Amino acid sequence: MNVRTTPLSEGWHWKERDPARQSVLDEVPRLQQSFRTGLNPSWTSVRSFPSEIHVELLKNGRIPDPFVGFNEHKCLIGVGEREWLYYLAFPFESRGGNEQVEFVFEGLDTICDVYLNYKKILSADNMFRTYSVSLKSESLHSEDNKLLLHFKSAKVIAKQLEARYGRVRAGSTNLGDPSRVYVRKAQYGWRWDWGPELMTCGPYRPINFIAYSVRLASIYPHASVSPSPALSPALGVDVMLAGDASAASAVKVVLVDAEGDVMIKEEHLDLALLRAAKRDVEFKNVVNWSLDNAVQLWWPVGYGEQKLYTVEVVLLAQDSTVLDRQRKRIGFRRVELVQEPLEEADRHGQGTTFLFEINGVRMFMGGSNWIPADSFLTELTPARYRAWLTLLRDGNQNMVRLWGGGVYEPDVFYDTCDELGLLVWQDFQFACGVYPAHHAFVASVRDEAADNVKRLRHHPSIALFCGNNEDYQQVLQWGGITELPARLIYEDVLPSVVAELTDPPIPYHRGSPYGGKGWDTTDPTVGDIHQWDIWAGRERPWQEYGVMGGRFVSEFGIPAMPDIRTVDYWLAGNSKERWAQSKLMTQHNRAGNHERRFAILMNENFRLTSDLETHIYNTQLMQSEAVSFAYRMWRREWRGRGKEFTAGALVWQLNDCWPVTSWAIADYFLRPKPAYYSIARELAPIAVSIFRTVIKNRDNDRPKQFYEFGAFQSVAANIEVWATNSTLEPHSVRLVLQSADLSSLWTHTEIHDVVVHPNQSTELLSMPCPCPPPIKSDDHPMTTSHSIVVGARLEDPITGEILTRCADWPQPYRLVDVPDPNLEVHVEDERIQVKAQRPVKCLVFSVLGDEDQSEVKWSHNALDLMPGDTQILMASGLGKRKLQVAYFGKEKATLV
């Protein structure tokens, strides 16, 4: 009797729970044909399944788009505090015998009672669980089986639990109501400092109905690789059967390559065990293959190919007919989190490393933090997931951290990471709060962790499981909290689940950030840190990022406004609110104290403006300069074996869940901000960098890279030039150092032949900043370096190919007088050639009037130009659209 799996995805209806009815079962239609004849006006057909109630209401015109204007507020009490029902009638044809049936609910959001034919079969209270309910086939009818899902208000129940267990601290006021910690629901739905309050509910992931006598409950192919230098791959496969195991005869295991060719096939395993087994049994290592020379290793992007293989397990009956089959795609790689003493100290002290070693190679991790890419998870298609992750990969990033206030993403996310070579740092879903540890809560979390570790453990992209986001850190920041009950979860439950269920073991880290003594989450010499002293915290200048690193910086960032088209989307034609500090702009900026924090950084660095487009450009330039500077300085600290002072930096954040001003480097509509492109340049396999130190005429000078034309004046400036190389080979290159004066036509060029060492940074030059002789004048600074732009590029000495570029401009930008660059732009089909006679900062290309057309994909953008250095970029999808440019000094886009 083969397994029959039926997706329950058609024929659903929904309605609001009628509180006047005493029993929810009174809501179930007594006659299914009443739907077909239109006799049930209170029930509405589901538009798409899986489903969320906000999406249904929106598609049926019952609520306005909460992403536009102030509409979010119209969806709060009217939706999130009410109860909602989903109903399905379906037939079932029993085959008799020992057949049993099983409902598999892959995701119910969140508090849900499930009824089948008027009997409750499940009470779910964890959005992150996969719930399975097994029944006898006699429980179903031949037709018109009634399945009812009753979703209760997570918001209301959270307050009831808070009244029972006590009010705790859980983030600041812009991180939602603290009662959220008591409900295992995506925490960002309560509101976050970048997202709206939209309390969703519904069957947000698939529901399957399975009928069988015996089936493959799960398979676990554990692909292992021995330590370096051997790096020998091996494969074991564990099989879990559900139902009457004696009805099966054999298991067949097949290993298939990416082209579909069978590499290894083995049949008729464990026959005696299968015949002896009665019900629900697990078989460990039904195969245990050594695969030397048979398979190739999986490598992260930039280090090799992403070789993937498929393991297929087939369950056979006595007559060799197929009862069931499952497939999982795997890759062979070895991942280790290395925390060992450094050979020497840096500015912070000695301490230990916090680095990832893949297949014996230590790698610098440059990447992004990921939040859910939509407030409504059912709106995320596989194509949209791929677009986001491809954007990340194409930006030279190699790691994505799934933040602990969202969800464990669906399989397509991790499948795509496997294909693209992106390593995944996976937080368990706890964020910024004092979570409880009473028995029922811990038991639910244990099951949640087991469900998701089992689902994700075979992916080669999974590099780390992490216990929580900032729970230790926030307790320390708040003060006055002496106990964190959920330490039981982070330090016992979760690590034990990961250890028990992963083979080979996947590294576990108890929290992010974490590492120091006594829960210290700010020690830069151990573990990971979140660097928020810039923008938040102490609100330091971004130019101090270089001295504020750590062994691994897993969060840092500066916000910026999105593309002006995205701003106009939420404005929806409201011209009265189309200014930077309007009520509607504030509605779409959730960052705490954002008015004050933006004002500090913007006033320090840029000239004030009342023009919205100029203001948007300046916020984006600020973000681009700040975060790329952080990557530049921290990647420099990857100095070679035993000197891995900083082994990774993950910007907060890659994406948005709605149209908003936030830390995202690409907005909700996948429109990259300039920061995306500047980060890509900093994380290129080979990158060149410059750092300028200004010397003032007094010892007590101001922050580095700041010029001040007041009580203190600059008397000189030094520059340091270095290169970073993530490849495993040394490169002999030509360093071209070009300087240009913004105040005159003076230029200077010098050339050096240098060697860039493999898998580390290499110091190239340290010298006075080139500049013309000072002019003797009472009103002129004591040095002319204040107006010098220094550019560097690395060239292949044989072919002349330019491998990498950078430019260092004087700061702050509000004091820089920008000349007309005499820009020259030539367009041929989708190829754009650009050059200038004077330096250009952050040249941004866009197109005019493309709201109803597909986005143009730019190979590069937000360019820095040096005089005479021609740059070429591709604009995929440009077509006949009109090209626009904006740059520092001419921030409003104009036609080319």
Catalytic residue positions, numbered: 470
- DSSP symbols for 426-452: EE-S-BSS-----HHHHHHHHHHHHHH
861 class by beta-carbon count within 10 Å (0-12 exposed, 13-18 middle, 19+ buried): buried
Q: What span, in angstroms and rounded, lies between the C-alpha atoms of 258 and 254?
A: 13
Phi then psi for residue 480, to 5 deg, are 80, 0
- Main-chain dihedrals φ then ψ at residue 510, nearest 5 degrees: -70, -20
The answer to whether the Cα torsion of 370, 375, 378, 383 is positive or negative is negative
CA–CA distance, 214 with 692 (Å, rounded to integer): 69
- Measured in degrees and rounded to the nearest 5, phi and psi for residue 453 equal -65, -45
Tokens at 823, concatenated: 């820009």
Cα(365)–Cα(740) distance, rounded to whole angstroms? 34
E-only strand ranges, 495-570? 508-509, 529-530, 553-555
Determine contact, residues 414/461, Cβ cutoff 8 Å.
yes
Query: Rounded to whole angstroms, how far apart are CA atoms 84 and 79?
Result: 9
Tokens read off for 212: 């069988």
| Helix%, strand%, coil% for the chain, nearest 5 | 25, 35, 45
Environment class of 699 (CB within 10 Å of its CB; exposed 0-12, middle 13-18, buried 19+): exposed
Buried b (16+ CB within 10 A) or exposed e, 483-516: ebebbbbbeebbbebbeebbebebbbbbbbbbbb
Q: Rounded to 10 degrees, what is the CA torsion of 417, 420, 422, 428? A: 0
User: Which candidate, 744, 755, 761, places its Cα nearest to that of 867?
Assistant: 744
Left (φ > 0), alpha (ψ -120 to 50) or beta: where does 176 sit? left
Name the residue type at position 499: A
Residues contacting 156, CB < 8 A, separation 6+: 81
Strand 119-124 with 100-105, pairing: unpaired
Q: How many angstroms separate the CA atoms of 885 and 786, rounded?
A: 26
**Residue 798 CB contacts under 8 Å (≥ 6 apart), including other chains:** none
Q: Which residues contact 353 (CB under 8 A, 6 or more apart)?
A: 338, 339, 340, 341, 342, 551, 644, 647
DSSP per-residue codes, 335-403: EEEE--B-SS-BTTB--B--EEEETTEEE-EEEEEE--S-SSGGG--HHHHHHHHHHHHHTT--EEEE-
Is 852 exposed, middle or buried, given 0-12, 13-18 or 19+ CB atoms closer than 10 A?
A: exposed
- Residue 531 near residue 548 (C-beta atoms within 8 A): yes
Give CA–CA dist 705/692, Å, rounded: 6
> Are the CB atoms for 343 and 642 separated by under 8 Å?
yes
